[in-house]
Amino acid sequence: MAEAAHRYDETMPLEYRTQESRLNILGFWIFLGAEVALFATLFATYLVLFQRTGSGPTAKELFEVKDVLIETLLLLTSSFTCGLAVFEMRRNRLSGLLTWLLVTLLLGAGFITFEIREFIHYVHEGATMQTSAFLSSFFVLVGTHGAHVSLGIGWMILIIIQILQRGLTPRTARKVFIVSLYWHFLDVVWIFIFTLVYLTGMVI
Amino acid sequence: MKHGKQRGRKWFSWLPLSLLLLLSGCSENIVVLNPKGPVAKEQYDLIMWSIGFMLFIIVVVFALFAAVLIRYREKPENADYEPPDEEGNTLLEIVWTAIPVIIVAALAIPTVKSTFALEKPPRHDVKPLTIHVTSANWKWIFSYPEQNIETVNYVNIPEDVPVKFKLTSAGPMNSFWVPELGGQKYAMDGMETQLILQADHPGSYMGRSANFSGKQFAHMEFEVVAQTQDEFDKWVKEVQQTAPKLNKEKYGEILKPGLVGRMTFSNTHLEWVDHAKQNSHHGDDEKRNDRHGDMESDHYEH
Amino acid sequence: MKWSEFFVTGEPLIYAADVAIVLTIIGIVFVLTYFKKWKWLWDEWLTTVDHKKIGIMYIICAVLMLFRGGVDALLMRAQLTVPNMKFLDAQHYNEIFTTHGTIMILFMAMPFLIGLMNIVVPLQIGARDVAFPYLNALSFWLFFFGALLFNISFVIGGSPDAGWTAYFPLASNEFSPGVGNNYYAVALQISGIGTLMTGINFLVTILKMRAPGMTLMRMPMFTWTVLITSVLIIFAFPVFTVALALMTFDRLFGTQFFSMANGGMSMLWANLFWIWGHPEVYIVILPSFGIFSEIVSTFARKRLFGYKAMVGSIVGIAFLSFIVWVHHFFTMGAGPAVNSFFSITTMAIAIPTGVKVFNWLFTLRKGKIRLTTAMLWSLAFIPNFVIGGVTGVMLAMAAADYQYHNSYFLIAHFHYVLIAGTVFACFAGIHYWYPKMFGHLLNEHLGKWAFWLFMIGFNICFFPMYFLGLMGMTRRMYTYAAGLGWTPLNVVATIGAVLMGIGFIVFCYNIYYSARYGERDMTGDPWDGRTLEWATASPPAHYNFPVVPEVTDLDAYWAMKKNGSGYEVKEEQLEPIHMPSNSGRPFLISIAFFFAGFGLVFKWFTLAIIAAIFIILGLILRSFDDDDGYYISVDEIKRTERLARKGA
């Protein structure tokens, strides 16, 4: 760490200026690599088990296009607004940053709301995670993604509070940047879920 | 420290071991190295082939190691010696990469050949005998579908006839292993694996489970008895005529965890259940969906 | 829940253990209070973020776990010495071999190596600490409390008993009722999170914090192995995270991932476990290779032969380690094509490994070999590991493996590679870096006794097992019948195990003896070392280097010494040094993890949720924490350096 952590580089964007920030951002990218391995395992599990429905319902019987499309729209839009937030941050416009961060968070909350409603709907239909291997893997894969999104929402709230308290500093800028990486990553994972879980399930 | 004594002690530690090698090598007890059937023989040949190469590697490495240690040990005589600044030697790197590649190839080719060959019966002029094997805690159940008889914890087979064992399990994974006749394969719930074995001569061969399946796993032994074709046919007929019938209740009793000893029946459980074709608790949903799982305290039995 | 389900009852040995645990706790509390050391403990150890101290804590835990795992082994050997022995019944034997395997790999080998990584790597690259010191502390405490959770299982609730591989359906609720395997799923999960963080930490540290002039190809070999191991950790551990989570769900919430009903697939567990499990064994062997490279080079007084090839081979091994996992279950009926593919990839791993062995031999050749204890361990590794390695190639041949699988042949193989590989490396490493850790050397005479006893005992114990396997003895049998001809070799194996135990005791005595009478390391460079850690004091100052060194060559410190000056610092060069602050939060968050885990194990979900809230609280506090560390003044640096030099 040492004095290197404060090797300040004025030429870089705010979030990259301190050595500590650069280390944190690299560390987070690597963490995302581990997350890729994690989700890859969950996907592999799903793909191995999704046709093993036992006496329970199949994907075709369960999934409905409308819900999934709404969730996708909400999450993808939130990824866009997250990009807008970082855009505003680069232009040092605090109010813009906060606004778009808030919108992102709300869209994310909307996504979670619809997802919870979807899960509850399935449970009411008798399709719980105990029903079959397909449903176990579905709920754990999609649920893990949802848990990650929920954590991201909480994290964004914390960051918004910190920005309100301390303004835009190299440190807070870094935090915004990292949570945006996280958010975009979850969006990419959702695209895979949408394709491999919902679309495939509704077709096969 | 006396370096000479140290070296001597190093060699010493290998003396009892080489003795071991010598003594045990002659023993009939080393069943894997005393094959009693063509499958085990094929595996034995592969093992011997590999041992040859491995011994070669060991000799080379050990010799180099000993030579280097003896020659370049720090002694009062070479106290002033400063080792050269050697970065490496590309040619050597190529050599000691290429030779292992060749050795691996020499091992891989017969391995792949044998791996494929073992999936088929060792002889094609005789119709194989099919026996379904079901492992359950902690016993082995053998079902002869063509003869419509069933045995528990022992299996009779005719000599010189390939036997197709169709393996499955009514519980945890076990592994069907008769080392004198050949290698093993897992028996798993909801699945069927196939293992082909053949005995050259009549005799009694020890079988056991090679995959840990719980408390009494160590007692999951079974006997494979190879008989002449005549004796085998006679035995089958005798069983068909005199052995009791197996029904669902009795079968349920047998499946309960525990050791049961030997049994013989004149029908098979395949009439009502084949554990290979379905998860063993198919339709048994309530018990499985035990979310509030009370603590089952039969964990400690003394 | 009944008391007898919570506490393990009915066993005199367990009651004795209960008493021992309570007495130990009382003893520790008493000593700390009497000597007024509570504040010291908190300030210096529980809240430290210093990689050197964290490393020492890892190693202390590892040695304790080596003791526990070793006792497990001796109990097993006692039970198996003669047929039909009644020393341990099946249930106890099954719990003991399960905890033996789990502890040795996850709570002994991993922390020992991670401990050495922590102490050595920042010093070797000329850094002041790792990239994320706070995370480093959290990694350790998560490991610690995960290990603690696993270890109390044998007195509270019962230990897991389905093997360290915990195959389903055996590890499901139906066949393993009770909490034992819940401990497995939860405790390993907690420790695993710590390990994953360590992987990320060291990857960033090595990539970004090397001293100026230290290009990747000028890094010490140990650092290279740690770099590659970190990549392995990052890609392999998430697989285990998922597998354990799915196991937790099956056991606690009734899902059907690995069940025998409703579409569950037990084979999936085996696959997921080994997709992690195989890279895991390379995670414990690659740093070991790195340790041997350092020691062989230092005590042959010669640079490592074929540096580039050594780096290439580590990368090759790491890559291959991800595509061999099916060799752990060739016999699961995957079919000849799949088995053949994995046979070939598995045999292929032997090639880069062989390259390394030859490079070590040629490092020794034309060197001047000094037989210190560390060097003895490293030298003994070569022939012993090769025996394990060639039997690995034999096992890789699928058709032959049908006879070896799950037999004592397999046990002999993996103990040969793990003990001669990893355990020897741990002993070698601790003897080598001990002066750097504590400022005094371990006694050479005692060290050599421990070495010979352990190494000879190891061969006597495990070599016969190759033959026992070929005689048809399978692993995990709690007893065996008479008349099979297995008894003589089992007797021999037990004798060997006892020798190993004695060797370990001598090693422990060495630690005590050297603490009292050990030779002090006055120069910081007791072995005439080649790498940068030997340029610091023993033990190093808190900040490691007063001035970050400039590196001009491989074997950086050797080059500095050859060019005359060694590592010299002019007082004009000194600048204030920035250091991270201590924090108690990693310790406290990990305690919360312990209680959350405990709650999950016993299905006391209220406790688990409350503890989880505390974890989140800890994370929130961390987020708001803008503590930026502190500066060590130039005056203080001067004082520290002068004191260190005075001792020289």
DSSP code per residue over C426-464: HHHHHHHHHHHHHSBPPPHHHHHHHHHHHHHHHHHHHHH
Q: How far is C122 from chain A (nearest CA, A)?
A: 10
B68 and B114 inside one domain? yes
Using the predicted structure, report yes or no on whether residue B20 has a pLDDT greater than 60: no
Confidence of residue C553 (pLDDT cuts 50, 70, 90): very high
Residues of C within 8 A of B17 (CB-CB) are: 459-460, 463
Return the CA Rg of chain A.
Answer: 19
Q: How far is B289 from chain A (nearest CA, A)?
A: 6
Q: How far is B184 from chain C (nearest CA, A)?
A: 5
Q: Nearest Cβ partner of A130 from B279, B282, B291?
A: B291
B167 and B113 inside one domain? no
Residue C289 in tokens: 């290779």
Confidence of residue A6 (pLDDT cuts 50, 70, 90): low
Residues of B within 8 A of A131 (CB-CB) are: 289
B154 and B259 inside one domain? yes
The answer to whether residue B249 is domain-embedded is yes
What is the spatial distance between Cα C401 and Cα B208, in angstroms, rounded to a whole number? 16
The answer to whether residue B77 is domain-embedded is no
B108 and B182 inside one domain? no
Residue C354 in tokens: 């062989």
* pLDDT (tens digit per residue) in C155-193: 999 999 999 999 999 999 999 999 999 999 999 999 999
The answer to whether residue B276 is domain-embedded is no
- pLDDT attached to residue C647: 57
Q: What are phi and psi of B299, to 5 degrees?
A: -70, -35
| CA distances from residue C559 to A43, B158, C290, C311, C584 in whole angstroms, order as listed | 51, 75, 20, 20, 41
Angle value at C-alpha C185, between C182 and C191, nearest 5 degrees: 125
* pLDDT (tens digit per residue) in B27-86: 678 999 999 999 999 999 999 999 999 999 999 999 999 999 999 999 998 889 999 999
The answer to whether residue B10 is domain-embedded is no
Residues of A within 8 A of C548 (CB-CB) are: 2
> With an 8 Å Cβ cutoff, are C332 and B186 in contact?
yes
Bridge partners, residue C632, by sequence: C577
Confidence of residue B280 (pLDDT cuts 50, 70, 90): low
The answer to whether residue B298 is domain-embedded is no
C43 alpha carbon, distance to own chain's centre: 26
> With an 8 Å Cβ cutoff, are A54 and B291 in contact?
no
Confidence of residue C5 (pLDDT cuts 50, 70, 90): confident
* pLDDT (tens digit per residue) in A139-148: 999 999 999 9
> With an 8 Å Cβ cutoff, are B279 and A54 in contact?
yes
B165 and B257 inside one domain? yes
* pLDDT (tens digit per residue) in C384-401: 999 999 999 999 999 999
- pLDDT attached to residue B301: 30
Class of residue B257 by CB neighbours under 10 A (exposed 0-12, middle 13-18, buried 19+): middle
CB C388 within 8 A of CB B54: no
What is the spatial distance between Cα A187 and Cα A75, in angstroms, rounded to a whole number? 7
Helix C180-208 and helix C133-151: axis angle, to 10°? 160
CB count within 10 Å of CB B5 equals 9
What is the spatial distance between Cα A136 and Cα B288, in angstroms, rounded to a whole number? 13
- pLDDT attached to residue B232: 97
Residue C553 contacts B, CB cutoff 8 Å: no
* pLDDT (tens digit per residue) in B181-204: 999 999 999 999 999 999 999 999
Residues across chain C: 648
Side-chain-side CA neighbours of C197 within 13 Å: the count stands at 22
Residue A27 contacts B, CB cutoff 8 Å: no
Q: DSSP string spanning C502-513? A: HHHHHHHHHHHH
What is the spatial distance between Cα B76 and Cα B73, in angstroms, rounded to a whole number? 10
Strand B154-158 to B221-227 pairing: parallel
CB count within 10 Å of CB C211 equals 17
For the domain that residue B102 is a member of, what is the CATH number?
1.10.287.90
Side-chain-side CA neighbours of C36 within 13 Å: the count stands at 0
Q: DSSP string spanning B137-178? A: TTEEEEEETTTTEEEESEEEEETTS-EEEEEEESSS-EEEE-
What H or E segment, with its residue span, contains residue B193? strand B193-197
Confidence of residue C20 (pLDDT cuts 50, 70, 90): confident
Helix (H/G/I), strand (E/B), else coil: C541: strand
C435 alpha carbon, distance to own chain's centre: 20
Q: How far is C371 from chain A (nearest CA, A)?
A: 37
B159 and B67 inside one domain? no
Taking phi first (over 0 means left), then psi (-120 to 50 degrees means alpha), and beta for anything else, what does residue C176 get?
beta
- pLDDT attached to residue B279: 64
Predicted complex ipTM = 0.95
Side-chain-side CA neighbours of C482 within 13 Å: the count stands at 4
What is the total count of domains within chain B? Answer: 2
- pLDDT attached to residue C3: 79
**For chain C, percent of residues with pLDDT exceeding 70:** 100
B106 and B216 inside one domain? no
Using the predicted structure, report yes or no on whether residue A1 has a pLDDT greater than 50: no
Q: Nearest Cβ partner of C344 from B62, B108, B212?
A: B108
- pLDDT attached to residue B293: 33
- pLDDT attached to residue C1: 73
What is the spatial distance between Cα B166 and Cα B57, in angstroms, rounded to a whole number? 39
Average pLDDT over residues B205-222: 95
Average pLDDT over residues C40-59: 97
- pLDDT attached to residue C570: 86
Q: How far is A130 from chain C (nearest CA, A)?
A: 4
* pLDDT (tens digit per residue) in B226-266: 999 999 999 999 999 999 999 999 999 999 999 999 999 99
Return the CA Rg of chain C.
Answer: 25
Q: Nearest Cβ partner of B173 from C5, C170, C397?
A: C170
Q: Which domain holds residue B56?
A: 30-72+91-119
The answer to whether residue B19 is domain-embedded is no
**For chain B, percent of residues with pLDDT exceeding 70:** 83
For the domain that residue B161 is a member of, what is the CATH number?
2.60.40.420
B257 and B214 inside one domain? yes
Q: Which residue has the tokens 């405790």?
A: C187
B256 and B216 inside one domain? yes
| CA distances from residue C304 to A47, C184, C206 in whole angstroms, order as listed | 47, 41, 20
- pLDDT attached to residue C119: 98
Q: Which of A6, A41, A132, A164 to mutate to test the interface with C (most CBs of C within 10 A)?
A: A41
Q: In one letter, which amino acid is C108?
A: M
Nearest to A77 by CA among A174, A187, A169, A155: A187
> With an 8 Å Cβ cutoff, are C626 and A166 in contact?
yes
Confidence of residue B16 (pLDDT cuts 50, 70, 90): very low
B58 and B151 inside one domain? no
Average pLDDT over residues C5-26: 86
Q: How far is A119 from chain C (nearest CA, A)?
A: 15
Using the predicted structure, report yes or no on whether residue C530 has a pLDDT greater than 50: yes
What is the spatial distance between Cα C387 and Cα C403, in angstroms, rounded to a whole number? 19
CA-nearest residue to A55 within chain B is: B283
Strand B149-152 to B154-158 pairing: unpaired
Three-class DSSP labels, B208-274: EECCCCCCCHHHCEEEEEEECHHHHHHHHHHHHHHCCCCCHHHHHHHHCCCCCCCEEECCCHHHCCC
* pLDDT (tens digit per residue) in C327-383: 999 999 999 999 999 999 999 999 999 999 999 999 999 999 999 999 999 999 999
Mean pLDDT score of chain C, rounded to an integer? 95
Residue B278 contacts A, CB cutoff 8 Å: no
Residue B289 contacts A, CB cutoff 8 Å: yes
Using the predicted structure, report yes or no on whether residue C318 has a pLDDT greater than 50: yes
B98 and B136 inside one domain? no
What is the spatial distance between Cα B255 and Cα B267, in angstroms, rounded to a whole number? 16
> With an 8 Å Cβ cutoff, are C382 and B61 in contact?
yes
The answer to whether residue B154 is domain-embedded is yes
The answer to whether residue B167 is domain-embedded is yes
Q: How far is B159 from chain C (nearest CA, A)?
A: 21
CB B133 within 8 A of CB B168: yes
Neighbours of chain C (3+ CB pairs under 8 A): A, B
Using the predicted structure, report yes or no on whether residue B14 has a pLDDT greater than 60: no
> With an 8 Å Cβ cutoff, are C234 and A30 in contact?
yes
Considering only residues 29 to 68 of chain A, which have any Cβ-Cβ distance to chain B shorter than 8 Å?
Answer: 54-55
B226 and B147 inside one domain? yes
In chain A, the domains with their CATH numbers are 17-201 (1.20.120.80)
Using the predicted structure, report yes or no on whether residue B10 has a pLDDT greater than 60: no
Considering only residues 213 to 242 of chain C, which have any Cβ-Cβ distance to chain B shorter than 8 Å?
Answer: none
Helix (H/G/I), strand (E/B), else coil: B93: helix
Average pLDDT over residues C266-293: 98
First-residue to last-residue Cα distance in chain A: 53
